[in-house]
């Protein structure tokens, strides 16, 4: 899996990097090792935002989440992508 992580207006810490990599392992299970995953995380005022774009074969998936806790946005995104797969 090709994984890219981008942070805007916030610090890119090793702890955040590790959490995102761990969360992205689900994508590899769902889409296989050829998937391309790009996470973007940023802060807007007091709220944290995350989005993920996944390219897997001929399919594209996208999810975005906002929350007062950055780590919660990761879980929201996983749930949203999972719902897209089920449809």
Number of domains in the chain: 1
Q: How much is the pLDDT for 86?
A: 81
80's enclosing H/E stretch is helix 70-86
22: CATH? 3.30.160.100
Structural domain including 15 reads: 2-86
Whole-structure pTM value: 0.92
Give one DSSP letter per residue of 11-78, joined into a string.
---HHHHHHHHHHHHHHHHHH-TT-EEEEEEEEETTEEEEEEEEEETTEEEEEEEEESSHHHHHHHHH
pLDDT in tens, the chain (87 residues): 999 999 998 999 999 999 999 999 999 999 999 999 999 999 999 999 999 999 998 999 999 999 999 999 999 999 999 999 986
């Amino acid at each position: 899996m090709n994984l890219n992580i981008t942070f805007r207006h916030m610090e890119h810490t090793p702890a955040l990097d590790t959490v995102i990599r761990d969360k992205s392992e689900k994508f590899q299970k769902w889409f296989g090792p050829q998937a391309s995953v790009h996470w973007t995380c940023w802060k807007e005022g007091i709220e944290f935002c995350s989005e993920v774009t996944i390219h897997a074969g001929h399919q594209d998936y996208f999810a975005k989440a906002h929350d007062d806790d950055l780590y919660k946005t990761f879980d929201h995104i996983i749930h949203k992508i999972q719902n897209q797969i089920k449809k």
